[in-house]
Amino acid sequence: MIIDVSLTQELESFVQNCVNSGRFHDLSEVIHSALRLLRTQENRRNQFTALLDTIQQDTQREGFYTLDEILSEMDEVIAQTVQ
Cβ contacts of 33 within 8 Å, gap of 6 or more: 24
Task: Please give the Cα distance from 56 to 52 (Å, whole number).
Answer: 6
**What are the pLDDT digits (tens) for 30-53?**
999 999 999 999 999 999 999 999
What does the DSSP assignment read for 9-40?
A: HHHHHHHHHHHHTTS-SSHHHHHHHHHHHHHH
Between 11 and 82, the higher pLDDT residue: 11
Other beta carbons less than 10 A from residue 30's beta carbon: 19
What are the φ/ψ torsions at residue 70 (nearest 5 degrees)?
Answer: -65, -45
Report whether pLDDT(2) > 90. no
The model's confidence at residue 15, banded by pLDDT at 50, 70 and 90, is very high
Residue 30 carries which side chain, given as an amino acid letter? V
